[in-house]
Amino acid sequence: VLAIPAAVYMLQEQEAHAAELERTFIAIKPDGVQRGLIAEVISRFERKGFKLVAIKIVVPSKDFAQKHYHDLKERPFFNGLCDFLSSGPVVAMVWEGEGVIRYGRKLIGATDPQKSEPGTIRGDLAVIVGRNIIHGSDGPETAKDEIALWFKPEELVKYTSNAEKWIYG
């Protein structure tokens, strides 16, 4: 008699939990793709316990790269950065999980790989700021905007991973 309400309660908890999960936009830039680091980057997010909900490989146009980096348009490196982002395939992804925006940035490391801690993606795998392998949204607003720029809503896959109950309890 007690088991049924408990099960229903757990289901509601899970659904509420799923609805709250945060999302971030992560991209493996052309240097990461060409260097064969796609699986390495994905593996770090996956092993942490974050969930991949969208992925594609694309060569962005320069115009698209300028849209993506519009916040940096006054910076001296803006043109070179947009040329670089549009120079080859980029792996665009959306990852989901509690605190994924902020913690994703920790997994990535500081913008300049010389200042990134060992153990981070840029710290372990990159050497200079202009070739730092990966992009990650820097806050909730940019995450929302970047996900909308790179993906159509229907490209985001909603699913429950079997691991979730072990990751979140």
Where on the chain is the footprint of ligand ADP (CB under 6 A)? 72, 77, 81, 111, 129-130, 132, 135, 138
Identify which of residues 26 and 54 has a Cβ nearer to ligand ADP in the complex. 26
Distance of closest approach, residue 85 Cβ to ligand ADP, in angstroms: 8
CB 116 within 8 A of CB 123: yes
Catalytic residue among 17, 68, 70, 135: 135
Q: Nearest residue to ligand ADP, using CB?
A: 111
The answer to whether 21 and 141 are in contact (CB under 8 A) is no
Nearest to 56 by CA among 93, 89, 96, 104: 93
Instruction: Let me know if 17 is a catalytic residue.
Output: no
Q: Minimum distance from CB of 155 to ligand ADP (Å)?
A: 23
144 is in an annotated binding site: no
DSSP β-bridge partners for residue 90: 58
Contact yes or no for 49/24 (Cβ under 8 A): no
Between 88 and 130, whose beta carbon lies closer to ligand ADP?
A: 130
Q: In Å, what is the CA distance from 3 to each residue of 6, 7, 8, 10, 100? A: 5, 6, 9, 11, 34
User: CB 112 → ligand ADP: shortest distance, Å?
Assistant: 7
For 55, the 3-state DSSP assignment is strand
Binding residues: 29, 77, 105, 111, 122, 132
> What are the catalytic residues?
135
